[in-house]
Structure 1
Amino acid sequence: MSEDEVTALLEGARKLQLATINPDGTPHLVTMFYGLDKGRITFWTYGKAQKARNLARDPRVSCLIEAGEDYAELRGVLVYGRVTPMDDAESVLAVGMAVARRMTPGVADELLRPYVEQTGRKRVAYVVEPTKMVSWDHRRLS
């Protein structure tokens, strides 16, 4: 996919599959809503979540964003990278708002902010610094 197509998919999607590494080396895979900051993936989670514990030990992640229902429609972006934690209140709020907007499109910020502020007290936010990106588009196969 071209850079513009990758950007469009990242901007248009709402969820990703996030893989972190468990203490025993096995992958820990979860679905996450995410935000974007200057084209980089951001997400947040509770500080005591398994993914947060994994990331504190090993900051490597894989993020899969995909679209399409039938085989001939499948397309996706796989981002390999390392996370940088953001645990200051302002950064957590900014990432939380970006995520909440994706979770609830069209809902006014004034309605989202109380939820984000409340749950943000127990959360850590992350930005993914990409090290490698792979993309595909099966619509081109026909």
Structure 2
Amino acid sequence: MGSNKREKIKMTDPEVAAFLAASFKVQVATIGKGGEPHLVTMFYTLLDGKIAFTTYRSSQKVLNLRRDPTMTCLVEDGTEYNELRGVSLYGKGRIIEDPDVRLKVGAVVGSRMAGLPVPELGAPIDPAFAAGLEPALAKRVVIVMEPERTTSWDHHKA
């Protein structure tokens, strides 16, 4: 693909923001102990415009990020070539253990995973729902993708 075509299909910053806000699954790659990629799919929400998800404190991705915070995220969509859209984010994974942040992110991601109505991030959380969610979140942390570089493509533009 020539550089002119690459520029033509690149998303603008507002398009990237809208695409990430409309999606909810992300491929997350961290670096394993032996240098190999560790790749998983996670449900996410946006926290201050950045990809954020919860995961078990003892998960492989957390162990990897504590050793080396390098992380890549891929959000993509489309089936046919001319429908393909995506955003790759390259940067660092920041681990957050704050229970308030964990509850905010966990409420959105947990609702989505359970097929429940998804609350707005930061909206007041029903106390009964929060009480039910707390035990599930107790062993979890939040990972926030701190992007240093982003690439994007939208073949609808071609």
Same fold per superposition (TM over 0.5): yes
Give the structure 1 partner of residue 155 of structure 2: 138
Q: Contact conserved, 2:27 with 2:39, CA < 8 A, in 1?
A: yes
Return the offset for 1:118: 1.5
Report the Cα offset of residue 105 of structure 1. Answer: 5.2
Q: How is 1:10-89 mapped onto 2 (pairs within 5 angstroms)? A: 10-89=20-99
Larger radius of gyration: 2
Q: Which has the higher strand share?
A: 1
Instruction: State which drifts further: 22-31 or 110-119.
Output: 110-119
The CA RMSD over aligned residues, in Å, is 1.7
After superposition, the C-alpha distances for 1:7-48 in whole angstroms (9 at most, x for unaligned) are 111000010000000000000000000111121111110011
- Taking structure 1 as reference, are residues 130 and 140 closer, same or farther at Cα in structure 2, changes over 3 Å only? same
Unaligned runs of 5+ in 2: 1-10, 120-124
Task: Identify the residue that residue 117 of structure 1 maps to in structure 2.
Answer: 134
Q: For structure 1, which runs of at least 5 residues remain unmatched after alignment?
A: none
Shift of 1:101: 3.8
Q: Percent identity?
A: 45
Alpha-carbon shift at residue 116 of structure 1 (Å): 2.8
Contact 1:100/1:112, CA 8 A, preserved across alignment: no
Partner residue in 2 for 1:127: 144
Give the distance between the partners of 1:77 and 1:102, measured in 2 at CA. Answer: 21
Q: How many residues align?
A: 141
1:25 partner SS: coil
SS of 1:17's partner is strand
SS of equivalent residue, structure 1 residue 99: helix
TM-superposed deviation, 1:107: 5.2
- For residue 100 of structure 1, report the CA deviation from its aligned partner: 2.2
Name the CA distance, whole Å, in 2 between partners of 1:3 and 1:100: 28
